[in-house]
Structure 1
Amino acid sequence: MQYIKKYKTGNILVVIIGILVSLIILSPIIWIILTSFKSVEEIYSIPLTIWPREIVFTNYLDVVGKLPEFPIYFFNTIKVTLGTILLVLPLSAASGYALARKDFYGKKLVNSMIIAFIAIPYIVYLVPIYILEDILNLLDTNLGLILPYTALNLPLASIIMQSAYGELPGELEEAAYIDGASSFQIWLRVLTPLVITSLATVTIFTFIAVWEEFMFARTLMVETSAQTLSVGLPNLKVEAKSWAYGTLSAALTLSLVPISLVFVILRKYFIEGLLKGSIKG
């Protein structure tokens, strides 16, 4: 009985510490969200208030009325992010299947090159990519970001999918071959439906990486009409004037909505993938 009490007390302490740490980490985001619903008078009132005395939506209306560039940045980011994911998912699934289930000449070399690519800092690729896109007239285009983002996120995604396909029993593939299925049909119809959790993990990682990426977006996208949120949000401070913290907070809050939705929708598969990996280890 004493052991059970100590165990329960330990669990309670872990939960309390976890909540406190989470609040500390999330406090800037929580403050921005709460500020976005405050009036201008309340934002500058003394003493400062944490919770809005009165919830107002004026700041969100000002995002559209006073920040005409925000919708451009927002939809550019949506297009680039979705375009990258639509390329990374099938390519990583195909490469992961090949690396996990097939034997071919140079397989070890390919695996080594993928790991080496991940280990090299991304900034090393920036100048050659810029020169290449300048030659191909891809600067200031959505495709000019989608292609580099796909190349940068594909190695890690391939490793995740290689691990996922490698865990599946070989009997499934053998039974499908006996039934006359081709390698493509086995990959698409038999094995891929069993690695949905890993695909969800790849989707979340890729979405976050692309949505918040700054270095390539800042270098490759110069024109305002082509910029994404990571580059455009700092510019909104000038457009909204430095004192318009309510409007800026509303813009930042809106930029967090897509990431939050993706995680909420896919969190079940994402958590299953993490638990599966931890149990295996």
Structure 2
Amino acid sequence: MPHRNAPLTETGRLRLARCVVEDRWPLRRAAERFQVSVTTAARWAGRYRRLGEAGMADRSSRPHHSPHRTPTRTERRIIKVRVLRRWGPARIAYLLGLNPATVHRVLTRYRLSRLSHLDRATGRVVRRYEHPAPGDLVHVDIKKLGNIPDGGGHKVLGRQAGRKNRANAGVSYLHNAVDDHSRLAYSEILADEKKETATAFWQRAHSYFASCGITVRRVLTDNGSCYKSFLWRDALTAAGITHKRTRPYRPQTNGKVERFNRTLLDEWAYAKPYRTESERRDAYPRWLHTYNHHRGHTALKGQPPASRVPNLTGQYT
């Protein structure tokens, strides 16, 4: 397909070339007739003499040879440093004696321009995935979170006073379940991470997803002791759900719920200086509703998880 501003289509080029080659028109006359430059008219006429009608098609503008392109050996050195040391273009350029812009172009060419695209453990390019339907896979995890002491922590009282006030505040455990396809989340703040607590949480989460019209087929967890218990196994087996566990020391495999954990820390747990743990917990249900129904998700093209779950109630409240 020719460029939208090109004066000649393939048919027009052929007519121009035939006027010059077969009808013996002067180049200047043909150029004026087809409203192009004399150079353009000469180019298409020359191609027609060499290649016939086939020469009227568009060609790639990519050069046949790039003498100034970074040598392959240098590109390999850049990639090796990037993967092994996780350095940015400036540090790699300093080490190898190159221009930072050259290093950045090489990293972009091989899709390594962002460190977030590399797995922290292996340095390999992260393979992202998304299951095709809600319920195909649900990510489950527990996030341990320090409680806020009465009167507030260091954000309210200052670092020194907040550290003293926090001595006996204790911790809470956020049990989270996130649907892989829709990112719909179910979460509870509980007192521990025992197998009985985790199993009871999952049964409530399972009922929640069922109420949204989601049939859970598989569940992915880490290798925590509560998820390796017979109680957990039997609860999933009774519901006809397949249990999968991540590889040891590879939390990124359960990345969607790990990303949810980080989001709730940034946008709820540490979003404002709460004065008591009760105040923070009271704010959690509303934040969770906002996350599911109104907060745009980058992986969903700016839409909330509710947009992928038609049966979800309360979507417009």
Normalised by the size of structure 1, how large is the TM-score? 0.25
Larger Rg belongs to: 2
Higher relative helix content: 1
Name the structure, 1 or 2, with higher relative contact order (CA <8 Å, separation 6+): 1
